Amino acid sequence: MFEQLVEIITEYVEVDKKDISLESRFMEDLGFTSFDFMNMLGEIEDRFDVEIDQEEAADIRTVQEAVEYLESISE
């Protein structure tokens, strides 16, 4: 799941894959705007065929949190 998420992240922000870790914060470390983040969530919904709760998504700050959330709704 982490590797797939890294692929998607690099489509939205100019960051090298090797610079993305589980601890990376979307806004502070990776340079996401809220608009980028919401667009990325839409892409994730399409790719993984899941529905992301917008209120829960608002609490996602790090790549680790995103991976854990996606794993919890993909089961």
Residues 21-58 pLDDT 10s: 999 999 999 999 999 999 999 999 999 999 999 999 99
Q: What are the structure tokens assigned to 47, written together?
A: 């790719």
State phi, psi for 27 to the nearest 5 degrees.
-80, -55
Mean pLDDT value across residues 9-31: 97
pLDDT for residue 6: 97
- Binned at pLDDT 50, 70 and 90, residue 61 comes out as very high
pLDDT for residue 66: 97
9 in helix, strand or coil?
helix
CB 52 within 8 A of CB 41: yes
